[in-house]
Structure 1
Amino acid sequence: MKPIFTRGPSLLLRLSIMVVLAVALLIADNQYNLFSSVRIYLNSIVSPVQYIADAPQKLFSTLSENLMTREELKERNQKLEKENLHLKADRLLLTELENENKQMRKLLNSQYTFSNKRMITEVMSLRSDPFTHQLLIDKGAINGVYVGQPVINEEGVVGQVMQVGSTTSRVLLLVDASHGIPVRVQRNDVTALVHGSGAWNKLNVPFVQSNADLQEGDLLVTSGLGGRFPAGYPVATVTSFVYNEGAPYAEVTATPVAQLDRSRYLLLLWNGHQIKQADLLLDDVGVNDVIAP
């Protein structure tokens, strides 16, 4: 007599098939970008839920700001007026330096593809675990945001956009283990590469020669190499330079300049070849928080 319930494939076989299928899909997506449109569509579907989840935090922040006393508001206003005066004075000097820089680049026949176009965005949520460090922001494809777009705050580089939905985007933070950025030492223009370590306050600087002119306290800024990040933005400060005899390279670590886990408002930057496309999108949707140089 045949049994009523026949036994199917073993659990180990099923698991092996699913693992092989998952790896094949990951490789196919990485090589041919098969699921980019599907990912954008799914992000667009989830966007309303993300805004609803962010609503209590926004409401609490609004109530907290409205409960500030008159004296606190007066003191804050005076402080902002003083800071604004200093910034305006610095802007006068920066404008002159920018004009001189443009003239020198013309003399050297050097191309400068980055512009000062930028947009303010607000952080909606923070995702952090041992494998990934990301932020969710409230700007997306309808605002002209694109994959790989540089993201900064008032202190320095924060990261770059890794996924774009219609109204929200995900930002890969500087400290994520999969993030890398070319930099130079502000003191002497020595170039290097900074990689995320997966820890909030640590960055790795690999492939540094033992005789490299690099010191603790040196400020690392974006070099502009690779065409993604504009040159000159602060990235990190060197905290350790250790060379073990016989090792091929020195062990160099740095600390991010920006406080990545405390940022509420960020700035999205545009490079030269993305500006025209962003202008068309922004004109269509009527976005009014783009800051002109």
Structure 2
Amino acid sequence: MFTVNPTAILQLGFWVTLSIVMMTVDHRYQYLNGVRDVLGTVVYPFQYLMQLPTNTKGWLEQNLAGRGTLLEENARLREKQIFLNAQLQKLTTLEAENRRLRSLLESTVNTPEKMLIAELLAVDFDPYRHHILLNRGRQHNVYVGQPVLDQQGIIGQIIHADPFSSTAILVTDANHALPIQINRTGVRTLALGTGNFQELKLLHVPNNEDVKVGDLLVTSGLGGRFPRGYPVATVTKFEPGSPFANIIAKPVAQLDRIREVMLLENAPPDEKPAPTPAPTPAPAPTAAPVPRRHS
């Protein structure tokens, strides 16, 4: 059994009473503020050292987590930037396509003939074989010989039509000839392809003919395939020669950059009404054969 020491009880009572008195006095009169400041100053280094490991751990965790978060955010923003740049490029392409289509639609408003808009599917890259593949065919009433143009002017004609696609020959193809006339004077001739997207050659124009650089060449309507009056090219070179002048013209359409074209919806040759028979004329002399070209 433990024995109770009266002295210890008295000491405990003394210190408890003293503590109560000191707390009461400090609460009312703030006598111990100086003592508290001194004790706080003395104890602070020990408190700091005791808290240092915990603070260091928290700082490391925060910075490491923050760096990881920043790296993830940076990667996410980089991916978003790439996506937005791709979208911007697509919007730029769509804007350019929208301008081309608007230009095509505006040109169809000023054209009495019906138009069918087609897009390029492929291009023949042979230097002298200027053919393009279009996404319209016989199911869209496309026919061989149908004129093809863009918002600037004539670019060629259909030479083959499948059910859902067709092939067009450009006016610059070395095997293509187009009846044209000089818009200023009405002089008629043929414009031959040269295999160069930037050049057409005019045939059989006398040296004394009134032709000037800058003259606009338009379709003459001869042959019944191309309607009259559509722009084709402008004269860029006129040199007298023997026996005919050397005349070079540049197509008004940018044939190496076309994306969309228009097909003139005229009646195909086999659907046009046959002309009324006329009295048989006297036999005419046979002309010398000429090289076969698309016209």
Determine helix, strand or coil for the equivalent of 1:129.
Answer: coil
Aligned pair partner of 2:263 in 243, 246, 268: 268
Which residue number corresponds to residue 150 of structure 2? 153
- CA displacement 1:13-67 (0-9 Å, x = unmatched): xxxxxxxxxxxxxxxxxxxxxxxxxxxxxxxxxxxxxxxxxxxxxxxxxx99982
Q: Which amino acid aligns with 2:239?
A: V
Which residue number corresponds to residue 222 of structure 1? 219
Which residue number corresponds to residue 184 of structure 1? 181
User: Could you tell me how far 1:272 is from its partner in structure 2?
Assistant: 3.9
State the superposition RMSD in angstroms: 3.5
User: Could you tell me how far 1:131 is from its partner in structure 2?
Assistant: 3.3
Runs of 4+ in 1 over 3 A off after TM superposition: 63-66, 272-277
Distance 1:198 1:276 in 2: 33
Residues matched between the structures, number: 186
Determine helix, strand or coil for the equivalent of 1:121.
Answer: strand
TM-score, structure 2 as length reference: 0.56
Aligned pair partner of 1:255 in 250, 255, 275: 250
Gaps of 5+ in 2: 1-82, 273-295
Structure 2 counterparts to residues 180-219 of structure 1, below 5 A: 180-219=177-216
Distance 1:262 1:256 in 2: 12
Distance 1:154 1:132 in 2: 23
User: Could you tell me how far 1:128 is from its partner in structure 2?
Assistant: 2.4
Match status 1:117 vs 2:128:
no
> Which structure has the greater CA radius of gyration?
2
Distance 2:85 2:150 in 1: 21
CA contact (8 A) 1:230 1:271 kept: no
- CA displacement 1:70-107 (0-9 Å, x = unmatched): x979xx69x97xx89xx59x96xx6xxx9xxxxxxxxx
User: Could you tell me how far 1:129 is from its partner in structure 2?
Assistant: 1.4
TM-score, structure 1 as length reference: 0.56
Gaps of 5+ in 1: 1-62, 99-114, 278-293
Q: Which amino acid aligns with 2:246?
A: E
User: Could you tell me how far 1:190 is from its partner in structure 2?
Assistant: 1.4
Structure with larger RCO (C-alpha < 8 A, sep 6+): 1
Distance 1:206 1:135 in 2: 25
User: Could you tell me how far 1:275 is from its partner in structure 2?
Assistant: 10
User: Could you tell me how far 1:116 is from its partner in structure 2?
Assistant: 0.8
User: Could you tell me how far 1:130 is from its partner in structure 2?
Assistant: 3.0
Q: Which amino acid aligns with 1:215?
A: K
Q: Which amino acid aligns with 2:217?
A: L
Query: What fraction of aligned residue pairs are identical, expressed as a percent?
Result: 38
Instruction: Please identify which structure carries the higher strand content.
Output: 1
Which residue number corresponds to residue 172 of structure 1? 169
